[in-house]
C-alpha cells in the first residue's frame, strides 16, 4: 500500500486503486497507532478517487526531521577514504564502517526538502557534487519503521573531502534533500534483493547509471533506527536515510539541468532536476 502527499491532501493506493484519505494532518498519519490498518480501512470503504493524477505530488514530510546514515556500504567507505586522503581523514571512514556505532547525521528539515519533480540544488561554493540514492525509512514517534520512501542525499564531495568536519556544510543546505514519490506503508523488512538504481540524464543522454542492492548494506535498518532514537525523541516521527552504495566515478560532477532518477522497485521512482546555479 502506498501513501502519497499531494497538494489536494493525502491519497492511498492499493492494487492500482487510489482513494482520498479524509482530512487528517500528515503528522497525525505518521504518528497513527496503526497506520497500515487505518489506511486499509479507508481503501475498503471508500470509492476510488479520479482526481489523483491532477494533484501535484509533494514530498511526504511535514514536521519530521530528516536524518541520514553514513558509510553503510563498502562503496561509500572507499570513495570517502579516497576523497579525504589529503586531509588525513580517510582512516575515520574505515573505522566507522566497521564500528558497532553507526554514523548518523542531521540532514534536513521539511523546508530544505525538494518535492518529487522539483529542483534539487548544488551549493554555489562547491565544485564536486553528487546525488546519493538512498532507501529512506519512515519512523513513527516510537522509533518503529512504518514505511519506506526514496531519498536523495545531495552531497558536496569537495567540501567533505577537504575536511570531514565540514560534513554539515557538505550535506545541509537549501534543497539538499529530495524525498518521494510516496511512502510504501509497511513494517516488514524489504528483501535483500531490493535494488536501488540511479540514472543521471544530461542533455537527453544517460551520463551515469549505476545500482546496488540492500544485500550490500552493512547495517540493518532497524539497528540504524534504534541508534537514532537512543536518548533522542521525535514526537512527529522522523525520516532516516540509510546511506549510499552508488557513487559515480571521481571525474563526475552534477551540472545544472541534470535529471536525477532514483528507482527503488517496490516504492517507485523519484525524479528531480538540478537547479540553475545562482
- Put residue 82 in one of left, alpha, beta given phi > 0 → left and psi -120 to 50 → alpha: alpha
Residue 88 Cβ, how far from ligand DO4 at the closest point, in Å?
15
Residue 192 has which C-alpha cell? 535483500
Select the residue interacting with ligand DO4 from 156, 194, 244, 272 (CB under 6 A).
244
Residue 69 Cβ, how far from Mg ion at the closest point, in Å?
7
Q: Is 167 in the site for ligand DO4 (CB under 6 A)?
A: yes
Residue 243 Cβ, how far from Mg ion at the closest point, in Å?
5
Q: Is 153 in the site for Mg ion (CB under 5 A)?
A: yes
DSSP state of 189: P
| 105-144 positions binding Mg ion, by CB under 5 A | 132
Residue 85 Cβ, how far from ligand DO4 at the closest point, in Å?
14
Query: Based on CB atoms, which residue is closest to ligand DO4, 68 or 267?
Result: 68
Residue 261: CB atoms within 10 A of its CB come to 19
Q: Is 153 in the site for ligand DO4 (CB under 6 A)?
A: yes
Q: Which residue has the cell 554514523?
A: 103
* CB distance 189 to 197 below 8 Å: no
Burial code of 171-206, b = ≥16 C-beta within 10 A, e = fewer?
Answer: bbbebbbbbbbbbbbbeeebeeebebbbbbbeeeee
Judged by the rule CB under 6 A, the positions of this chain that interact with ligand DO4 are 68, 70-71, 76, 80, 103, 132, 153, 167, 243-244
Amino acid at each position: 500500500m502506498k501513501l502519497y502527499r499531494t497538494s489536494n491532501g493525502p491519497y492511498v493506493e492499493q492494487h492500482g486503486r487510489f482513494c482520498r484519505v479524509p482530512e487528517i494532518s500528515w503528522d497525525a498519519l505518521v504518528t497513527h497507532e496503526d497506520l497500515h490498518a487505518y489506511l486499509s480501512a479507508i481503501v475498503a470503504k471508500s470509492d476510488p478517487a479520479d482526481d489523483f493524477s491532477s494533484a501535484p505530488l509533494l514530498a511526504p514530510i511535514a514536521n519530521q526531521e530528516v536524518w541520514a546514515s553514513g558509510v553503510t556500504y563498502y562503496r561509500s567507505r572507499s570513495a570517502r577514504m579516497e576523497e579525504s586522503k589529503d586531509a588525513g581523514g580517510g582512516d575515520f571512514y574505515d573505522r566507522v564502517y566497521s564500528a558497532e556505532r553507526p554514523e548518523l547525521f542531521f540532514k534536513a528539515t521539511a523546508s530544505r526538502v525538494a518535492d518529487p519533480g522539483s529542483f534539487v540544488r548544488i551549493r554555489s561554493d562547491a565544485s564536486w557534487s553528487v546525488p546519493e540514492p538512498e532507501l529512506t525509512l519512515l519512523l513513527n514517534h516510537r522509533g518503529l519503521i512504518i514505511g519506506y520512501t526514496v531519498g536523495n542525499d545531495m552531497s558536496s564531495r569537495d567540501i567533505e573531502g577537504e575536511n570531514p568536519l565540514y560534513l554539515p556544510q557538505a550535506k545541509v543546505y537549501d534543497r539538499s534533500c529530495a524525498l518521494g514519490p510516496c511512502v510504501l506503508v509497511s513494517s516488514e523488512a524489504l528483501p535483500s534483493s531490493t535494488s536501488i538504481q540511479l540514472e543521471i540524464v544530461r542533455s537527453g543522454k544517460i551520463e551515469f547509471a549505476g545500482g546496488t542492492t540492500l544485500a550490500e548494506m552493512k547495517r540493518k535498518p532497524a539497528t540504524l533506527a534504534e541508534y537514532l532514537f537512543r536518548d533522542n525523541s521525535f514526537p512527529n516521527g522522523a525520516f532516516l536515510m540509510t546511506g549510499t552504495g552508488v557513487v559515480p566515478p571521481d571525474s563526475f560532477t552534477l551540472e545544472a539541468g541534470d535529471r536525477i532518477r532514483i528507482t527503488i522497485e517496490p516504492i517507485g521512482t523519484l525524479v528531480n532536476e538540478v537547479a540553475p546555479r545562482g
